C-alpha cells in the first residue's frame, strides 16, 4: 500500500480521518459511492471540502493511486468529484487509480478553486 507522504491524516480538530495507517491483511475496503444528502452536518460537508482540497493540492488533475486514502472519505466523493482513472476499475485494491473530475469538483466545491 502506497502511503501518500505529506497528505493530511485527518480534518484538524476532529476524528474525521483522511488516511489509514496500515493495510488491512484481509485486503482493502472496497470503495463505494456514498449518497450525500442535503441535511448532512456542516462538519461532514467541511470534511468533504477539505479532503477534496488536499487531493487537489497533492494531485491536481493527474491520476493517483488510492494507497492509504480512507475508503469512507473517498466514498463521499466517488463517482462525482473523484472518478476511476482506469478500466477495469478494482474498487477493492490499494493500487486502484483515481482522478479528480475538475469540472464537477469546481461545480460542487467552488471555494476550493477560488484562488486559481
DSSP-derived secondary structure for 13-31? TSS-BSB-SS--TT-PPPP
Which tens digit of pLDDT belongs to each residue from 27-61?
A: 889 999 999 998 999 999 999 999 999 999 999 99
Would you call 22 exposed, middle or buried from its count of C-beta atoms within 10 A (0-12, 13-18, 19+)?
Answer: exposed
Which tens digit of pLDDT belongs to each residue from 81-94?
A: 999 999 999 999 99
**What residue spans define the domains of the chain?**
42-113
More confident residue, 76 or 38: 76
What is the model's pTM? 0.91
| C-alpha cell recorded at residue 53 | 482540497
Contacts of 103 (CB under 8 A, 6+ apart): none
| pLDDT above 90 for 72 | yes
% of the chain residues with pLDDT over 90 = 79
pLDDT at 26 (0 to 100): 86
Amino acid at each position: 500500500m502506497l502511503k501518500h507522504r505529506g497528505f493530511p491524516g485527518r480534518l484538524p480538530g476532529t476524528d474525521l480521518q483522511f488516511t489509514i495507517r496500515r493495510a488491512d491483511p484481509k485486503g482493502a475496503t472496497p470503495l463505494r459511492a456514498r449518497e450525500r444528502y442535503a441535511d448532512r452536518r456542516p462538519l461532514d460537508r467541511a470534511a468533504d471540502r477539505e479532503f477534496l482540497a488536499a487531493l487537489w493540492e497533492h494531485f491536481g488533475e493527474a491520476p493517483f493511486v488510492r494507497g492509504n486514502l480512507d475508503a469512507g472519505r473517498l466514498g463521499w466523493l466517488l463517482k462525482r468529484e473523484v472518478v476511476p482513472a482506469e478500466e477495469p476499475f478494482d474498487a477493492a485494491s490499494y493500487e486502484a487509480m483515481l482522478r479528480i473530475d475538475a469540472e464537477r469538483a469546481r461545480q460542487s466545491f467552488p471555494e476550493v478553486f477560488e484562488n486559481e
